[in-house]
């Protein structure tokens, strides 16, 4: 079956620190990979995606590279801001999949 | 509407009562999804609709759970004889079509508390 494993949180960082949130997956077929973000009081929204191996998704200073050899899609940002505090979800799915399979989410807390 | 709308945003009920949760998807989105998010857990897939049909009901936890969609628009998730373990945030999402790009647009969720 399909599954997504994320590092457990919360991840606590100071502003301008480097961020990595690990995500690995198990899937049948060739999924697309996604990062969704949930800001406090809001619904989940797509942050970035990659549709095939070696693709890099990027948005708002975040990036993640689809690594088929390590079945990973780690989220990175070079310098986090307080406004990045949120819960981040890694997911797989896309064409050929009826829905998305999500990880448990990782809470990020950024302090000034 | 501009986004996916869910109601109620919060619902407190007594064990054994039935509850209905409503989802209004983005206009024109043919696919609609229900997920459940328990405290400290990831998103658990419940069911999805393509149009008014539900090709995949595999995630519904028990026969107390049912969902319907009418007019390729509004969907209702019904939980009968609620139990305390049903307490969770129920999330609805929609997309242009299933098995497409995979981008889902989520509502803010309905938080259900069963006492």
Q: How would you write the pLDDT of chain B (115 residues) with one tens digit per residue?
A: 579 999 999 999 999 999 999 999 999 899 999 999 998 788 899 999 989 999 888 899 999 999 999 988 999 999 999 999 999 999 999 988 766 566 889 999 999 999 9
Bridge partners for A36 per DSSP: A46, A89
CB distance from A57 to chain B under 8 Å? no
Mutating which of A2, A35, A43 best tests the B interface, going by the most B Cβ atoms within 10 A? A43
CB proximity A88 to B under 8 Å: no
What is the bridge-based pairing of β-strands B110-114 and B10-13?
Answer: parallel
Q: Which of B66, B74, B3, B33 is nearest to A98 (CA)?
A: B33
Q: Omega into A10 within 30° of 0, i.e. cis?
A: yes
Residue B8 preceded by cis peptide, ω within 30: yes
């Amino acid at each position: 079956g399909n599954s997504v494993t994320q590092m457990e949180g919360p991840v606590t960082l100071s502003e301008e620190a480097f961020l990595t949130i690990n995500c690995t997956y198990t899937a049948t077929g060739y999924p697309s990979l996604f990062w969704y973000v949930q800001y406090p009081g809001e619904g989940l929204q797509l942050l970035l995606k990659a549709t095939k191996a070696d693709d890099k998704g990027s948005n708002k200073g975040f990036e993640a590279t689809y690594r088929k050899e390590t079945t990973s899609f780690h989220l990175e940002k070079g310098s986090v801001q307080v406004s990045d505090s949120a819960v981040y979800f890694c997911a797989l799915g896309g064409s050929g999949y009826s829905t998305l399979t999500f990880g448990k989410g990782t809470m990020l807390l950024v302090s000034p | 509407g501009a986004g996916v709308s869910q109601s109620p945003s919060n619902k407190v009920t007594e064990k054994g009562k039935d509850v209905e949760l409503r989802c209004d998807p983005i206009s024109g989105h043919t696919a609609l999804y229900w997920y459940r998010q328990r405290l400290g857990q990831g998103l658990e897939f419940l069911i999805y609709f393509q149009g008014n049909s539900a090709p995949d009901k595999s995630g519904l936890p028990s026969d107390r759970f049912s969902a319907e969609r009418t007019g390729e628009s509004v969907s209702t998730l019904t939980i009968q004889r609620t139990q305390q373990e049903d307490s969770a945030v129920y999330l609805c999402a929609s997309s242009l079509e299933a098995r497409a790009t995979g981008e889902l647009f989520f509502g803010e969720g309905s938080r259900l508390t069963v006492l």
